[in-house]
Structure 1
Amino acid sequence: MPVLEIDHLHKSYGDTRVLHDINVSIDEGDFLVLVGPSGCGKSTLLNCIAGLEPISGGTIRIGGRDVTGVSPKDRDIAMVFQSYALYPTMSVARNITFGMQVRGVDKETQARKLAEVAGQLQIEPLLNRKPAQLSGGQRQRVAMGRALVRDPRLFLFDEPLSNLDAKLRVSMRTEIKKLHQDLNASIVYVTHDQIEAMTLATRIVVMKAGTIQQVGTPSQIYNRPANMFVADFMGSPAMNLIPARARTEDGTTRIEIDRDGSDPLVITDPIARDLPSQIILGVRPEDIHEATGQAHLPQDLHGAGGEVMIDVVEPAGADTYAVTHLGGTPVTVRLRAESAVAAKRSFPLAFDLSKVSYFSPQDGSRLN
């Protein structure tokens, strides 16, 4: 039985509809991440799951029970907020145990659960401190501890790391992933950070303007985006989206891409079928390779490309990023650090045809 089921959920504020026919379910132990740009409705959806926002239509079930009209305290959930929401006058220990105290949990159970979560989160030395004496990361651990002691059916996280600096976000991300693995907890997590989504999730929901664009594993979302929005939003650097022309002859599809100051770049794809004449070719920066001296490339890829003029070279430690122009748009290539690539010079590139995506220029939908 799914832990969470959302069926045909709608949410409106007056005449303005902000969530459109949302259908999502997660199983026991899933880590579901809601991701999308600011204003896409992901936090509103989380608040609807929590019962903090009434819904305008549809149903929400937690553990098989319809909780559509149930108050937040009776939904068997625990929520971790972006703002921590700690009581400033209470110690860390009291912040964590206060909810249990209000619910009438006996003191022995309170002490046992406090000791368990303090050990899990490594905050034992902080239990007598007040929130003002803690760093941002420590406050977030306390907020997580307060949720953990409830032992709920479902955890809800609303951008819990967005107030932390970049280095602390990475370490806290690792802690949250470890907690999920150790507890086999069922989690719904909101973020606008697609790297956070990819590293934490077992399943991802990509949202745009109150609608779901795609639901899938991180691998499915990254390697087979359902449309151009998902392709562009997920990944850093983003997938290259290159206008091109397609023509199929004798069972083989010929892809032509305009190249500045030269004949079109021609790629022959023996697998692609039934493409329209005008397409958008999608390819990740790491799936464009140096065409010569690459033993790891399959033989049929050596001819899947050609010479291009490099505009900019950006060394980035273990990688080198090169930018060229194809189809009238900038194209980013991720190369090995030792690649002999230079700006304002020609460089041979090959496309990994097993990784390319084709999209419709009209509606952005995936074609292959």
Structure 2
Amino acid sequence: MAPILDIKNLYKNYGSTEILKDINVSIEKGDFLVLVGPSGCGKSTLLNCIAGLEPISGGELHIGGRNMTNVSPKDRDIAMVFQSYALYPTMTVAKNITFGMKVRGVDQATQQQKLDHVAKQLQIEQLLNRRPGQLSGGQRQRVAMGRALVRDPKLFLFDEPLSNLDAKLRVEMRTEIKELHQRLGASMVYVTHDQIEAMTLATKIVVMKGGIIQQIGTPAEIYNRPANLFVADFMGNPAMNLIPAKVQSGSDASRIEIARRDGAPIVLRDERNRDLPEDVIIGVRPEDIAEPGYRAGTVAQEAECMVDIVEPAGADTYVVMQMGGKHVTARLHAETTAEAGKPQKLAFDLGKVSYFAPETGQRLN
């Protein structure tokens, strides 16, 4: 079966400025694709190209097996949910949801049937006679989603739909969107700059920077095996520790030395990665540095570390240390005995570390 969305060698220029460079991505029916990256990376432009709101400068774009490169937005069988909700202020919720069907000449009975079905799905039956001005941000968000759902499109497009909501409501709406996706089995493309949102919602993530795709993968692949330093630093909260280190390669193991501010370097022995260059940046997630016996995996290597700062955070306690001239964060359990200004034995899970080339930033293992 053809992918529901297939983008091949897509370019987008404004005059001589390249905004999107050689974008290749495809998703199957029922996938939840999240485009993530910092402001100005081109993710909203890419979404607008999929929607037909922006013409593309090169390449091809297929939806449901059909070439949409020169097809107008209304004929693409898509529905879009905007950040601003884009609701008509003078119309009731019911009319906002059915307006598109009315314009397309859908008969009254079908309009009512679809409205009832969607209102029930989104639990907004009691809001149908209100106007947008009488609704909370979360309720407006649901109405905007309802308007998209009644179209029953091939593809749903979401442009940062939760960024106007407060933190608590964002988490609730995120859960609702995820439930909706699972219930409908709908195909969705979703833009966000929030990497937590990307990790929790996506079946597939595209990480972008400067109009170029840095990595495509499942949330687990992106988190555990970042393709380069940018992805490693961008995805994850707290971010992955990225520590400069020296390597001596041996026939049975690599000896990894991490400089310390005071005292001898930390030495780790990695038997899995034996052909590393002399200079590397070692990437290790905060949860992969733990007290011996806690959480660290089967390939744990222990080292004595000097603790600078202890930050209790409920279920976890974060400790910050200096290694390789960088602040390094370890995520320890709540009852840790670690104290600021004192040494603490910690275990590094070498089964989960990433190595990057300092010059190119590319992953080495």
Q: What interval of TM-score do these two structures reach, taking the shorter chain for normalisation?
A: over 0.9
In structure 2, C-alpha distance between the alignment counterparts of 1:313 and 1:164, rounded to whole Å: 32
List structure 1 runs of 4+ shifted beyond 4 angstroms: 295-300
What's the offset of the Cα at 1:305? Answer: 3.2
Matched to 2:126, the amino acid is P
Counterpart position of 2:138: 137
Question: Which residues in structure 2 correspond to 1:17-28 (within 5 Å)?
Answer: 17-28=18-29
Q: Percent identity?
A: 70
Counterpart position of 2:265: 264
In structure 1, C-alpha distance between the alignment counterparts of 2:342 and 2:91, rounded to whole Å: 64
How many pairs are equivalent? 364
Matched to 2:43, the amino acid is K
Question: Which residues in structure 2 correspond to 1:206-221 (within 5 Å)?
Answer: 206-221=207-222
Counterpart position of 1:42: 43
| SS, match of residue 264 in structure 2 | strand
In structure 2, C-alpha distance between the alignment counterparts of 1:240 and 1:213, rounded to whole Å: 19
In structure 2, C-alpha distance between the alignment counterparts of 1:52 and 1:159, rounded to whole Å: 16
Task: Determine if contact 2:288/2:296 at 8 Å carries over to the other structure.
Answer: no
In structure 1, C-alpha distance between the alignment counterparts of 2:262 and 2:294, rounded to whole Å: 30
What's the offset of the Cα at 1:228? Answer: 0.5
Task: Describe the shift of the 1:296–1:215 C-alpha distance in structure 2 as closer, same or farther (beyond 3 A).
Answer: closer
Counterpart position of 1:274: 275
Task: Determine if contact 2:299/2:351 at 8 Å carries over to the other structure.
Answer: no
Task: Determine if contact 1:265/1:305 at 8 Å carries over to the other structure.
Answer: no
Structure 1: runs of 5 or more not aligned: none
Counterpart position of 1:358: 355
Question: Which residues in structure 2 correspond to 1:64-213 (within 5 Å)?
Answer: 64-213=65-214
Matched to 2:348, the amino acid is F
Counterpart position of 2:334: 337
Which whole-Å deviations, capped at 9, do the CAs of 1:53-81 have from their partners, x for residues lacking one?
Answer: 01100010000000000000000000000
RMSD: 0.9
What's the offset of the Cα at 1:250? Answer: 2.7
Q: Tell me the TM-score normalised to structure 2 length.
A: 0.99
What's the offset of the Cα at 1:273? Answer: 2.2
Match among 296, 311, 314 for residue 311 of structure 2: 314
What's the offset of the Cα at 1:299? Answer: 5.9
| SS, match of residue 349 in structure 1 | strand
Counterpart position of 1:367: 364
Task: Describe the shift of the 1:317–1:76 C-alpha distance in structure 2 as closer, same or farther (beyond 3 A).
Answer: same
What's the offset of the Cα at 1:251? Answer: 2.0
Task: Determine if contact 1:207/1:214 at 8 Å carries over to the other structure.
Answer: yes
In structure 2, C-alpha distance between the alignment counterparts of 1:97 and 1:179, rounded to whole Å: 20
Structure 2: runs of 5 or more not aligned: none
Counterpart position of 1:15: 16
Task: Describe the shift of the 1:296–1:366 C-alpha distance in structure 2 as closer, same or farther (beyond 3 A).
Answer: closer
In structure 2, C-alpha distance between the alignment counterparts of 1:352 and 1:21, rounded to whole Å: 37
Which whole-Å deviations, capped at 9, do the CAs of 1:94-124 have from their partners, x for residues lacking one?
Answer: 0000000000000100000000110010000
| SS, match of residue 265 in structure 2 | strand
Does 146-155 or 267-276 show the bigger shift?
267-276
Task: Describe the shift of the 1:318–1:148 C-alpha distance in structure 2 as closer, same or farther (beyond 3 A).
Answer: same
Matched to 2:175, the amino acid is T
In structure 2, C-alpha distance between the alignment counterparts of 1:74 and 1:295, rounded to whole Å: 56
| SS, match of residue 61 in structure 2 | strand
In structure 1, C-alpha distance between the alignment counterparts of 2:140 and 2:23, rounded to whole Å: 33
What's the offset of the Cα at 1:240? Answer: 0.2
In structure 1, C-alpha distance between the alignment counterparts of 2:190 and 2:160, rounded to whole Å: 7
